[in-house]
Amino acid sequence: MNRWKGIGLLLLANILIFITLSITFTVLADFVLPSFGINLHQYVNQGDLIFALAIGFGGAFGSLALSKTIARSMIDGYQITHPKNHAESVILETVQKIANRLNVKTPELWVYESPDPNAFATGPSKNNSMVAVSTGLLNNLNENEVRAVLAHEMGHVYNGDMFTTTILAGLMNTFVYFISRWVYRHLAERNPALGFGAYIFLQIILSFLAMIPISWFSRRREFAADRFAANTVGKEYMISALQAIDGWVQRAQFQYTSEDALATMKISGQSKSFLRMFSTHPPIEARVAALQRL
């Protein structure tokens, strides 16, 4: 679980919070409160659309607000406050220098235990963010390559990628809730139990299908973060970092199988198969080719 990328964590948290909110609201609004003579829907015109917006964006922004807390709970690591070795000094110096140049607050910096070279950024805003790197990244990449990966993650922070992904997730949640409620209302008139069962089923299925356009958007933002890193530290170092990560994957014969359900959220991305639609990262070869064209 410590391998999840920041946007992957945000998407998973969004889905879980959104589904919990929507099911809880439906139970209260359609089963519990009516037994006390309270009908929430009568107080708002076009109630389903209003509630869809509230719950859809509530789930998305709730996950954004909790993103750093969730990330900390999912990794086995420690925060860098006072560097204890050269690697930690490189991390702190690099991120501080970029943050100062961009006039943003330096993110929380974390190192976490994981053999695969990886890094992620998360947080509600540019001035309230977190950047974490794995021990595998520090052990397998040279200093300039580590600086390039850190610049890439700072690109996400500065570009506000977590926030824009949240907006898109909120829109997708709204459609998921509205469609599910529409089906629920029509089925519940004849069979309330069937209607509620279909409602929960659609919530889960449509929520994961909604990840397809969100993941596509995330892949676009990865190319933008690569360009930011290239402009900050030099494209040759970003290319070298990506190739070093890909080399590790090949040497370790890393397999994206059912044993690793988190593969779609890794830094290396999916290069083949239908899982690529759900990958938040493009294939490394596509990223390297894009950098070489700069």
Pairing of strands 108-112, 128-134: parallel
Determine contact, residues 147/186, Cβ cutoff 8 Å: no
Instruction: Return the axis-axis angle of helices 284-292 and 235-251, rounded to nearest 10°.
Output: 160
* Structure tokens given for 286: 């596509």
| CA-wise closest residue to 239 among 145, 162, 140, 167 | 145
Spatial distance between the Cα atoms of 23 and 55, rounded to a whole number of angstroms:
10
Spatial distance between the Cα atoms of 180 and 288, rounded to a whole number of angstroms:
41
Q: Is 153 a residue of the active site?
A: yes
Report, in angstroms and rounded to the nearest whole number, the Rg of the chain calculated over CA atoms: 21
Catalytic residue among 88, 108, 145, 153: 153
Tell me which residues are annotated as active site. 153
